[in-house]
Amino acid sequence: MKKILVLFLLVISILNNVAAQSNQDSTWIRNNYIKKEVYIPMRDGVRLFTSFYIPKDSTEKHPVLMSRTPYSCSPYGEDKWNSYWNSYYKNYMREGYILVKQDVRGKWMSEGEFVDVRPFNPDKKTPQDVDEASDSYDTIDWIIKNIRNNNQRVGVLGTSYPGFYSTMAALSGHPALKAVSPQAPVTDWFMGDDFHHNGAFFQMDGFTFYSGFGKPRPKPVSSMPRSGYNYRTRDNYKFYLEAATLPKLTELIGDSIAFWKQVYQHPNYDAWWKGRNVRNFVDKIPDWTATLVVGGLFDAEDCYGTWHTYQAIEKSAKNNNKIVMGPWSHGQWNGSDGSKLGNVRFGSNTAAWYQNEIEIPFFNYYLKDQGTESHLAEATVFFTGENKWKEFKKWPPEGKTDKPLYLQPNGKLSWEKPGNTHGFSEYVSDPAKPVPYTEDVHFYRTTSYMTDDQRFAARRPDVLVFQTDVLTEDVMLGGPLIADLRVSITGTDADFVVKLIDVFPEGFSYGDERFSRRSQPQGYLMDSYQMLVRGEIMRGKYRNSFENPAPFKPGTIEHVRFELPDIAHTFQKGHRVMVQVQSSWFPLADRNPQKFMNIYEAKENDFQKTTIRIYHEVQNSSQIILPVLK
């Protein structure tokens, strides 16, 4: 009882200190800044609502740091302040930055029409030819000409959808734009971000998001009524299983969501999707605009966008381009705690380290001439498993070897190719009982499923499990994974989910803790924990082409090969490497009827059971190709 009382008093003391510091920061900011709200005219006459937090100090010129958002730059009113004192943005204010936040075209208080992931227009000829790059240019131009005491240098940053607007700002070509940080940037909504992964529709994220965000806003507003779908159950697995089909989801979401309709009208990777893939245009980034691409290894939404935005810029632009990847969920690096995700711990507050050692020095260098360019490596990446930050001259790192790990009979996994002439493992995929993405009952999609224990899935008969012997030495992996499967199915289509898993030793505990339920996070047993390191889904009909899907020939062995997003993880000595293969990941991804067709039009009677074989034999060996580092 005495220990509990001491702990309680310690917590109260910490909370009081945090509150006192917040009050002190709030007072300092209000004493040293003013807030200003302005409608900034764009070249076509549309005005965008913009809020400014401007230093009162007039003894020096101040850099500008801007974010453009579809999520509101509230609170509205020059007497109502954003509580920057409760975030690391207070450090930018201590550095004397002019902070700018803008409602993008057609959202909240800005005028005009909103277009989701509005395509970049590389051939603007008239003032009516606008996109997010031109809106960024016009905003920056207005700021440097009208906001007092700015130093003619502008930076832009944003996370998720604002990350997309950050990439678009980099395409603006404005000479005052010196540094941009696209963070978890929306990049390609068909191939890997948010609403599709390799052509499979991520229905839960899509429905949850667009049932609210997608509703029309006919005129500028400073507040929105409570929006979104009124769910009948708090069990998302139950809800989406009972909804049954994508046409039924459309009935439930209603007919006012324009982008939802457009997604259904473009089931394949056509020109409509490609025009919304910003990677196709990053060669337009000028050499004077440095980029710092930031993301999370366990970002459930835009992990793909981070890796591929960096890679596209690196390949086609001539600017100074860097990447930082930490052990984070979506946007976790912007918060106060980066020491853990779900049940997995990382040994330090990685978010605070990133904020103070990477992001702020990056903008200080390009916007204030502080520090040196060499302070930041080409790639700064956190390796889970060993829990260490590492710096690289390129990514993927030099010295990477793509090494196949072969699926074997009897659930084995080995570096040696199978020697048997005939062999496969099989399961029955039943759309009526899809494999869940997590073992617990949830309403919203969790952020921690990316590191969740996979034992619940390993126990199902429709999930194949392969694992190595206990490792006798560390295995460090850095780069993209390749799933390379030889399969046959009894139907004409199927999905393939491949998961790379770190199996912890028996009796595992963190640090000096003794192994017990009480000492583990949320009472969870870390003993033999099966940590998801990376998982991805591939819609089988796109195995040869995302533009032109093709059916499987029942009973015929076919090749399904696809890339999983990069990882940075060390499987430590005493652990095991595990691979799981399944054909549903519900309700993350929509169910495949396992019948070749336009799934957006599927009816309940189209769904059918399918027997799936994964081959592991000399002529037809299935493998996962790992990026092994020395």
Contact 592, 539 (CB under 8 A): yes
pLDDT over 80 (residue 14): no
Q: Are residues 452 and 551 in the same domain?
A: yes
How high is the pLDDT of residue 1?
55
pLDDT over 50 (residue 546): yes
Over range 50-68, report the average pLDDT: 97
Closest listed residue to residue 159, CA positions, set 240, 229, 89, 264: 89
Domain termination residue (choose one: 365, 392, 419): 392
How high is the pLDDT of residue 377?
96
Over range 231-253, report the average pLDDT: 95
When mean pLDDT is compared across 35-49, 373-387, 435-449, 503-517, the lowest value belongs to 503-517
Q: Are strands 576-582 and 495-503 parallel, antiparallel or unpaired?
A: antiparallel
Evaluate whether residue 129 is within a structural domain: yes
Q: Are residues 314 and 405 in the same domain?
A: no
pLDDT over 50 (residue 522): no
Q: Are residues 506 and 579 in the same domain?
A: yes
Evaluate whether residue 8 is within a structural domain: no
How high is the pLDDT of residue 279?
96
Evaluate whether residue 161 is within a structural domain: yes
How high is the pLDDT of residue 12?
58
pLDDT in tens, 275-318: 999 999 999 999 999 999 999 999 999 999 999 999 999 999 99
Q: Are residues 483 and 603 in the same domain?
A: yes
- Domain containing residue 505: CATH number: 2.60.120.260
> Cα separation of 206 and 189, whole Å?
11
> Cα separation of 314 and 304, whole Å?
15
Q: 523: pLDDT confidence band, cut at 50, 70 and 90?
A: very low
How much of the chain exceeds pLDDT 70, in percent? 94
Is this prediction's pTM over 0.75? yes
pLDDT over 70 (residue 516): no
Q: 524: pLDDT confidence band, cut at 50, 70 and 90?
A: low
> Cα separation of 213 and 233, whole Å?
21
For residue 75, cis peptide bond before it (omega within 30 degrees of 0): yes
* Structural tokens at position 563: 């890339």
Evaluate whether residue 23 is within a structural domain: no
Evaluate whether residue 443 is within a structural domain: yes
Contact 557, 620 (CB under 8 A): yes
pLDDT over 90 (residue 511): no
How high is the pLDDT of residue 372?
86
What DSSP character marks residue 597? S
**Burial readout 159-179 (b: 16 or more C-beta within 10 A, e: otherwise):** bbbbbbbbbbbbbbbbebbbb
pLDDT over 60 (residue 434): yes
Over range 127-152, report the average pLDDT: 98
Q: Are residues 523 and 617 in the same domain?
A: yes
How high is the pLDDT of residue 625?
98
Over range 571-575, report the average pLDDT: 97
Contact 177, 170 (CB under 8 A): yes
> Cα separation of 535 and 581, whole Å?
10
Evaluate whether residue 468 is within a structural domain: yes
Contact 143, 64 (CB under 8 A): yes
Evaluate whether residue 21 is within a structural domain: no
Q: Are residues 544 and 594 in the same domain?
A: yes
How high is the pLDDT of residue 7?
47
* Structural tokens at position 553: 């020939």
Q: 614: pLDDT confidence band, cut at 50, 70 and 90?
A: very high
End-to-end CA distance of the chain: 51
479 three-state secondary structure = strand
Which residue range(s) make up the domain with 170? 31-187+286-392
362 three-state secondary structure = helix
What DSSP character marks residue 409? G
Evaluate whether residue 533 is within a structural domain: yes
570 three-state secondary structure = strand
Over range 153-174, report the average pLDDT: 98
Q: 525: pLDDT confidence band, cut at 50, 70 and 90?
A: low
Q: Are residues 517 and 566 in the same domain?
A: yes
- Domain containing residue 255: CATH number: 1.10.3020.10
> Cα separation of 302 and 29, whole Å?
33
How high is the pLDDT of residue 11?
47
Computed over every residue of the chain, the mean pLDDT equals 94
Contact 132, 168 (CB under 8 A): yes
pLDDT over 80 (residue 170): yes
Contact 446, 457 (CB under 8 A): no
Number of domains in the chain: 3
Domain termination residue (choose one: 238, 272, 306): 272
Tokens 């070249």 found at: 43
Number of helices (H) and strands (E) in the chain: give both, helices first: 13, 25
Contact 108, 74 (CB under 8 A): yes
Sequence-ordered list of residues with C-beta below 8 angstroms from that of 311, at least 6 positions apart, any chain: none
pLDDT over 90 (residue 59): yes
* Structural tokens at position 192: 């890997």
Tokens 């963070």 found at: 183
The secondary element (H helix, E strand) that includes residue 30 is helix 2-32
Domain termination residue (choose one: 392, 422, 444): 392
Q: 174: pLDDT confidence band, cut at 50, 70 and 90?
A: very high
- Domain containing residue 141: CATH number: 3.40.50.1820
When mean pLDDT is compared across 3-7, 69-73, 95-99, the lowest value belongs to 3-7
Cross-strand partners of 582? 497
How high is the pLDDT of residue 520?
47
Q: Are residues 387 and 407 in the same domain?
A: no
Q: Are residues 452 and 563 in the same domain?
A: yes
Sequence-ordered list of residues with C-beta below 8 angstroms from that of 274, at least 6 positions apart, any chain: 280
Q: Are residues 527 and 625 in the same domain?
A: yes
pLDDT over 50 (residue 514): no
pLDDT over 80 (residue 19): no
Q: Are residues 405 and 385 in the same domain?
A: no
Q: Residue 216 CB: number of other CB atoms within 10 A? A: 10
What DSSP character marks residue 446? P
Q: 515: pLDDT confidence band, cut at 50, 70 and 90?
A: very low
Q: Are residues 171 and 300 in the same domain?
A: yes
How high is the pLDDT of residue 507?
82
